[in-house]
Amino acid sequence: MVDIDTVTDEGLHAFHEAMATGFGHRISPELTEQYRGVTDLSRAFVARDGGAVVGTTRSFATEVTLPGGELLPTAAVTGVTVMPTHRRRGVLSSLMRTQHDDLVARGEPLAVLIAAEAPIYGRFGYGPATWHADVDVDRGRARFAQPGSDGHLRLAEPAEMLEIAPAVYEVFRRGQPGAIGRPDPLWRRRYGEFGDDDERKEAAERFHAVSHDDDGRPDGWVSYELRGDFEGMRPAKHVKVHELVATSARADAALWRYVIDMDWSVKVVADARPVVEALPWLLVDRRQVKVVDVADFLWARVLDVATVLAARTYGATDSLVIEVVDRFLPDSGGRFALDASPAGASCTRTATRPDLTLDARELGAACLGGTPLAPAAATGRMVEHRPGALAAFDRLFVGPTPPWCHTWF
């Protein structure tokens, strides 16, 4: 018999030890102590079998930026594991049910996570809501279409970045659908204030260039490192971009120019970039920005349909009655009348015959405006009760600015 409990202060190391085992690595008691002050124990759950921890999950409170700029209170779910000895026994389902009942009781209308394995989370009502691309830039062939200047850039140390980056990111995320708020521990880990030895070493090897506007205020930054070496007497390094964030087109162009024009490098590699961004348009030949992979990133799960759908704006003006089938949390499903427009929306429960029926996972995928559902119509997972309802849904939900999240948690 597996029991689900919240984590106690005394049980924190057992929680982290089981979580590390689930992900296939080890964790020291010393590293657990670093997490003691940054883990909300009331939001952490364990599955126990005879007293031994055999599964874990936790969450933290954050916000997701919706189309239109509303910051929606959101639960970020992380640390979801089951011990190898207890898989396929319903442990994960029990953990997720307890956790999601807790999130509903907290009044958090949306939950998000990063899915290590895509097939797992659809059955819990999650769908892939944001997408990102990994890109390579051939430095030798990349020429900028317009002249520019790097006069507004300077290098900064990690301690400075802990002051600069959060302020810039706050401005950035308010204009970027899909971006999440970053609590302080995420920033401190990013710049090497805590973490295991490998994480701190990686953080210490990175450089940080900050862009400033004409008044001297930071308006963007890029964190990067130089990898590789020389081949004979020829430089063969590449620039690995870990993060590039800008709040203006000028800053974005200046930061890309900085890393692409860097001496001793032959290539720029950047992971987790927006699928649609300005970079290719900055160059004479956009083919020099090679997309090497496109993948889902943030998965969303709608817990309060009316609240989430009423909080965002839409790509057209229309009305739809949407029936949401929620097999995991039946009380969250039902029929909802949505009156939507680019200026805002209202959404209420209704008994009216639906125009469209879809599963909670499809609504999760679509709710941030980045995943049209029409391509999946052939699967039969959406049912049109009124001809054209699915096309109308996509016209409403797919926004002009694709959602993007690049915050690992």
Residue-wise DSSP of 120-187 = HHGGGT-EE--EEEEEEEETTT--BSS----TTEEE--HHHHHHHHHHHHHHHHHTSTT-B---HHHH
- Write down the pLDDT at residue 242: 97
Six-digit token pair at 375? 């391509």
Q: Residue 1 half-sphere exposure, CB side, CA atoms within 13 Å?
A: 1
Of 176, 145, 111, 151, nearest to 399 by C-alpha is 176
Spatial separation of the C-alpha atoms in residues 86 and 90, rounded to whole Å: 9
DSSP 66-100: PTTS-EEEEEEEEEEEE-GGGTTSSHHHHHHHHHH
In order of 85, 219, 269, 273, 357, the CA distances from 320 in angstroms are: 47, 40, 43, 33, 11
- The gap from C-alpha 185 to its chain's centroid, in whole angstroms, comes to 16
Whether the Cβ atoms of residue 103 and residue 302 lie closer than 8 Å to each other: no
Please identify, in words, the CATH class of the domain defined by 304-397.
alpha beta
Whether the Cβ atoms of residue 125 and residue 364 lie closer than 8 Å to each other: yes
From the CB of residue 44, how many other CB atoms can be counted at a distance below 10 Å? Answer: 24
- The gap from C-alpha 265 to its chain's centroid, in whole angstroms, comes to 30
In order of 73, 154, 338, 357, the CA distances from 256 in angstroms are: 32, 14, 41, 44
Backbone φ, ψ for residue 60 (5° rounding): -140, 155
Residues 6+ apart with CB under 8 A from 202: none
Six-digit token pair at 187? 């920033």
CATH number of 133-294: 3.40.630.30
- Strands 127-128 and 131-138, by their bridges, are unpaired
Spatial separation of the C-alpha atoms in residues 47 and 305, rounded to whole Å: 29
Six-digit token pair at 36? 């003691």
Spatial separation of the C-alpha atoms in residues 151 and 85, rounded to whole Å: 58
Q: Residue 348 half-sphere exposure, CB side, CA atoms within 13 Å?
A: 5
The CATH architecture to which 2-108 belongs is: 3-Layer(aba) Sandwich (3.40)
39-77 confidence digits (pLDDT tens): 899 999 999 999 899 999 999 999 999 999 999 999 999
- Write down the pLDDT at residue 151: 67
- Write down the pLDDT at residue 168: 98
Count the residues in the chain: 409
**DSSP assignment, residue 43?**
G
Which of helix, strand or coil describes residue 351?
coil
What positions carry a catalytic annotation?
A: 121, 409
Greatest distance between any 2 Cα atoms in the chain: 74
- Write down the pLDDT at residue 35: 83
Spatial separation of the C-alpha atoms in residues 100 and 106, rounded to whole Å: 10
Q: Which residue has the tokens 């965002």?
A: 312
Domain ranges in the chain?
A: 2-108, 133-294, 304-397
Backbone φ, ψ for residue 251 (5° rounding): -65, -40
At position 159, the amino acid (one-letter code) is A
Tell me which residues of the chain have a pLDDT lower than 50.
Answer: none
Q: Which residue has the tokens 């442990």?
A: 91
Q: Measured at the alpha carbon of residue 277, what is the angle toward residues 138 and 252, in degrees to the nearest 5?
A: 80
Six-digit token pair at 31? 């590293």
Spatial separation of the C-alpha atoms in residues 314 and 344, rounded to whole Å: 7
pTM score above 0.85: yes
- 2-108 against 133-294: fold identical: yes
